[in-house]
């Protein structure tokens, strides 16, 4: 929990100005659709920081919960606000990320949807002796993408990681390409190679 809080406040101060831009389009979108942004300050602030990092890393405002898939049609659908908002509001009460929901949603309903999201991302990570295996996570039924994805697993580990290097195993080449961009954006170095049925990267974390 401490590492998560440290990561949260680092991102909060880093993206405090860009987050204002995110807030402007979100306010306009909510006014048009009759929605509201999650009233929990920490949840909405964290999601805005994630949107800022998505734009800075990948060049587009992708959904804060899923890294780009490499499928152009799917990635277009995942540009926030994504094309799944209405279906997910009908199912969960909010969108998947618990960022948007109906303006009349109760505090208890917002809290329940936020808990659902947090529970999804608190799946135990396969990390041992400096090696993180990001494979075999549950898949989101609409997007067919893992939850948590490689990006969120790596970011979570890096928040409290003390080693000078981290080895990461990913299943797909697109995840490997995403990881390269994530590592570069954070100022680290990355080397990788394909194995028989996965990709293995070494993140060099000493600056």
Which residue, chain included where needed, has tokens 């909510």? 30
CATH number (3.40.50.1000, 3.40.640.10, 3.20.20.70, 3.30.110.40) of 126-204 reads 3.30.110.40
Domain boundaries, the chain: 2-121, 126-204
User: In the prediction, which pLDDT does 121 show?
Assistant: 87
User: In the prediction, which pLDDT does 5 show?
Assistant: 76
Q: Could you tell me which of 57, 56, 48, 15 has the C-alpha nearest to residue 178?
A: 57
**How far is residue 18 from each of residues 4, 6, 15, 25, 159, measured CA to CA in Å?**
21, 19, 5, 12, 21
User: In the prediction, which pLDDT does 2 show?
Assistant: 64
Q: Is the peptide bond before 123 cis (omega within 30 degrees of 0)?
A: no
pTM to 2 decimal places = 0.92
- Reading the chain (207 residues) residue by residue, the pLDDT tens digits are 666 777 788 888 899 999 999 999 999 999 999 999 999 999 999 999 999 999 999 999 999 999 999 999 999 999 999 999 999 999 999 999 999 999 999 999 999 999 999 999 888 899 999 999 999 999 999 999 999 999 999 998 998 788 999 999 999 999 999 999 999 999 999 999 999 999 999 999 976
- Among the residues of the chain, which ranges form H helices? 2-14, 18-33, 41-58, 72-77, 85-92, 107-121, 150-160, 173-185
Burial class (CB in 10 A: 0-12, 13-18, 19+), 186: middle
What's 99's DSSP letter?
Answer: -
Q: How far is CA 161 from the centre of its chain?
A: 18
CATH number (1.10.10, 3.40.50, 3.90.460, 3.30.420) of 2-121 reads 3.90.460
Q: C-alpha dihedral over 17, 64, 191, 189, to 10 degrees?
A: 10
């Amino acid at each position: 929990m401490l590492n998560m809080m440290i990561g949260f406040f680092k991102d909060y101060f880093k993206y405090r100005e860009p987050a204002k831009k995110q807030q402007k389009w979100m306010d306009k979108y909510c006014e048009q659709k009759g929605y509201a942004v999650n009233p929990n300050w920490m949840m909405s602030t964290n999601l805005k920081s994630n949107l800022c990092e998505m734009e800075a890393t990948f060049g587009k405002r992708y959904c804060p919960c899923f890294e780009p898939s490499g499928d152009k049609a799917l990635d277009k659908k995942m540009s926030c606000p994504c094309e799944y908002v209405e279906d997910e509001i009908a199912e969960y009460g909010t969108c998947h990320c618990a960022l948007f929901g109906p303006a009349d949603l109760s505090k208890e309903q917002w809290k329940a949807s936020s808990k659902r999201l947090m529970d999804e991302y608190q799946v135990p990570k396969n990390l041992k002796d400096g090696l993180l295996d990001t494979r075999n996570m549950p898949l989101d039924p609409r997007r067919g993408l893992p939850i948590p994805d490689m990006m969120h697993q790596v970011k979570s580990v890096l928040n409290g990681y003390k080693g000078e290097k981290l080895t990461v195993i990913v299943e797909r080449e697109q995840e490997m390409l995403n990881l390269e961009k994530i590592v570069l954006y954070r100022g680290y170095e990355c080397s990788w190679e394909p194995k028989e049925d996965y990709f293995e990267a070494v993140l060099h974390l000493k600056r």
